[in-house]
Amino acid sequence: MYSWIIGRALRMLVGRLNSGDVRFVMRTFANDAHLVFPGDSSFGGDHRGKVAIEAWLTRFVALRPAFELHDVAAAGPPWNMRVCFRFTDRIPVPGGGQYVNEGMEYLRMRWGKVQEQRVYLDTEKVANFDAQLAAAA
């Protein structure tokens, strides 16, 4: 039941993210939040604090993603909650085609605020997409 409730909340947030509402999504991050996105692409990095995370999300949302959640699992009390979910991400590629990637995310939350977000996905697909974006620019 706990995972189902958290899954509903996350799906609502993903809907807001897909519609471009970065400000709403940023309300769920702690001031000292930490986002880790793997790889050597321009998306990759260790982003600390709301300002850095908001900049990353703003760039991501500008690409018009269709981010879809699948399985969601949550554990722990509200002051030390861990959430994992599987996702599919689809983004139109400039010049035609579509970037598609699947992965998992790990969130550590405290009282409804994201403290840590770690993304696990195929970094080679991200690097190829990054190259396509650079070529189209």
Q: pTM for the full model?
A: 0.92
**Structure confidence at residue 83 as a pLDDT band (50, 70, 90):** very high
Please name the amino acid found at residue 115: Q
DSSP structure class, residue 40:
S
Please name the amino acid found at residue 106: Y
Name, in order, each residue with C-beta under 8 angstroms of 110's C-beta and a sequence gap of 6 or more: 30, 78, 79, 80, 81
Q: What is the pLDDT of residues 8-49, one digit of tens each?
A: 999 999 999 999 999 999 999 999 999 999 999 999 999 999
Domain parsing of the chain, residue ranges: 2-136
pLDDT given for residue 82 in this prediction: 98
Q: What is the pLDDT of residues 105-117, one digit of tens each?
A: 999 999 999 999 9
Q: What is the CATH number of domain 2-136?
A: 3.10.450.50
